[in-house]
């Protein structure tokens, strides 16, 4: 059982306990350079945080005997699919960080609805803006694009604020109590009805650039857009133009296009952060205390399913790939 990154002690303990009796974790950074190749070829399963950084291109090609590559992250768009064996089985860590991410998404929506950042900056300038109305969520529609772990938790939070919930997923079916469930074929109707739009959908071929200029034009002038999924689901240039042309529309971004964890830098192609109707956070929606430790434990539990002769959950399909 091979683990690709130099996990902190608490994460090592969590994974070791989950794998106890089924496998002995071997940490790739702990090995001498001449031991790495043999360990990679001997591994039955691998848990990886950032494969591009943990393995060289030649090492990724040697994963031919691995029965499962389990990711620590919930998304898989960052994986080097073109460098790995084409039949390598991959499982993502879906839902591992859903609760803190749902809270973060709702906090961003509330900050936008109640104009908290705008009013704070006005107070710093000694401006007393008491009577300009803010947006009330009760009675409005919360649209959730992607009804996985994060989306399911957002349903409960939105309902607690008296919102109706319209959701989109791949099947158009759900056991979650929503007011409408559909597929991407229903996107126009869902966006037109929405007061708050939560983007929690996975990034793949079908969702790359999903919210472009044409689809952003379907939204209400004062809608709130929250993205805690992946930056590339939204067209950056189209969003910038839409925010400039619709000053009452607010975008709340936790996920960006070029981020340090995968690109070694944070960079934008537009001056989005200069806009007053943009609220940003540094992709930290999952960073609740102990979240990564729990994510590591859940990843190891899923590998344990395979090692015990069962079927791992959240296996990546062709439709999930970018």
75 lies in the same domain as 107: no
Task: Write out the residue range of the structural domain in which residue 7 sits.
Answer: 2-95+289-320
pLDDT for 66 equals 97
Q: Residue 180: is its pLDDT beyond 80?
A: yes
pLDDT at res. 77 = 87
- For 263-297, the pLDDT digits (tens) are 999 999 999 999 999 999 999 999 999 999 999 99
Determine the pLDDT at residue 296. 97
pLDDT at 29 over 90: yes
Predicted model pTM = 0.94
Q: In this structure, are 86 and 162 located in the same domain?
A: no
Q: Are residues 41 and 179 in the same domain?
A: no
Q: Are residues 189 and 303 in the same domain?
A: no
Do 87 and 103 have their domain in common? no
The total number of structural domains in the chain stands at 2
Q: pLDDT tens digit string along 243-259?
A: 999 999 999 999 999 99
- Does one domain contain both 19 and 153? no
pLDDT of residue 303: 98
Distance from C-alpha of 77 to C-alpha of 229, rounded to nearest angstrom: 11
User: 126 and 64, same structural domain?
Assistant: no
Which tokens hold the place of 213? 């200029």
111 and 84 co-located in one domain: no
Q: What is the pLDDT of residue 318?
A: 85
Three-state SS for the chain is CEECCCCCHHHHHHHHHHHCCCCCCEEHHHCCHHHHHHHHHHCCEEEECCHHHHCCHHHHCCHHHCCEEEECCCCCCCCCHHHCCCCCCEECCCCCCHHHHHHHHHHHHHHHHCCHHHHHHHHHCCCCCCCCCCCCCCCCEEEEECCCHHHHHHHHHHHHCCCEEEEECCCCCCCCCCCEEECHHHHHHHHHHCCEEEECCCCCCCCCCCECHHHHCCCCCCCEEEECCCHHHECHHHHHHHHHHCCCCEEEECCCCECHHHHCCCECCCCHHHCCCEEECCCCCCCCCCHHHHHHHHHHHHHHHHHCCCCCCCECCHHHCC
Residue with the bigger pLDDT between 321 and 232: it is 232
- Same domain for 112 and 87, yes or no, is no
Let me know whether 176 and 221 are in one domain. yes
- What tens digit of pLDDT does each residue of 208-218 get? 999 999 999 99
Check whether 322 has a pLDDT greater than 80: no
What pLDDT does residue 26 have? 97
- Nearest of 311, 256, 247, 315 to residue 281 by alpha carbon: 256
Task: Give the span between the Cα atoms of 184 and 204, in whole angstroms.
Answer: 13
Instruction: Indicate if 67 and 139 belong to the same structural domain.
Output: no
Residues 135 and 36 in one domain: no
Per the prediction, the chain carries an average pLDDT of 96
How confident is the model over 139-163, as a mean pLDDT?
A: 97
CATH of the domain at 83: 3.40.50.720
Q: Is 68 exposed, middle or buried (0-12, 13-18, 19+ CB in 10 A)?
A: buried
**How many CA atoms are closer than 13 Å to the CA of 19, on its beta-carbon side?**
24
Distance CA 278, CA 275 (A): 6
Mean pLDDT (whole number) for 27-32: 97
Q: Does the pLDDT at position 129 exceed 90? A: yes
């Amino acid at each position: 059982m091979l683990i690709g990154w130099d996990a902190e002690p608490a994460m090592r303990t969590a994974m070791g306990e989950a794998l106890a009796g089924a496998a002995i974790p071997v940490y790739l950074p702990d090995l001498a350079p001449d031991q790495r190749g043999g360990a990679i070829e001997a591994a039955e399963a691998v848990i990886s945080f950032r494969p591009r950084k943990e393995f060289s291109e030649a090492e990724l090609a040697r994963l031919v005997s691995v029965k499962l590559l389990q990711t620590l992250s919930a998304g898989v768009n960052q994986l080097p699919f073109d460098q790995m064996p084409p039949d390598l089985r991959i499982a993502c860590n879906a839902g591992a960080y859903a609760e803190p991410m749902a809270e973060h998404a709702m906090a961003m929506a509330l900050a936008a609805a109640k104009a908290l950042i705008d009013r704070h900056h006005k107070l710093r300038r000694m401006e007393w803006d008491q009577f300009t109305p803010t947006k009330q969520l009760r009675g409005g529609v919360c649209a959730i694009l992607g009804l996985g772990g994060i989306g399911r938790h957002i349903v409960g939070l939105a309902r607690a604020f008296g919102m109706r919930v319209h959701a989109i997923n791949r099947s158009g079916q759900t056991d979650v109590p929503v007011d409408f469930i559909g597929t991407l074929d229903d996107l126009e109707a869902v966006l037109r009805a929405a007061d708050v739009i939560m983007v929690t959908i996975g990034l793949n071929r079908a969702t790359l650039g999903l919210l472009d200029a044409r689809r952003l034009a379907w939204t209400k002038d004062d809608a709130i857009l929250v993205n805690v999924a992946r930056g590339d689901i939204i067209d950056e240039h189209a969003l910038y133009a839409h925010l400039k042309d619709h000053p009452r529309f607010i975008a709340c971004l936790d996920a960006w296009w070029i981020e340090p964890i995968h690109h070694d830098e944070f960079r934008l192609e537009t001056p989005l952060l200069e806009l007053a109707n943009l609220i940003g956070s540094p992709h930290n929606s999952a960073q609740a205390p102990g979240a990564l430790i729990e994510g590591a434990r859940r990843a190891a539990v899923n590998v344990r399913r395979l090692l015990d002769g069962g079927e791992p959950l959240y296996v990546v399909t062709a439709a999930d790939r970018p």
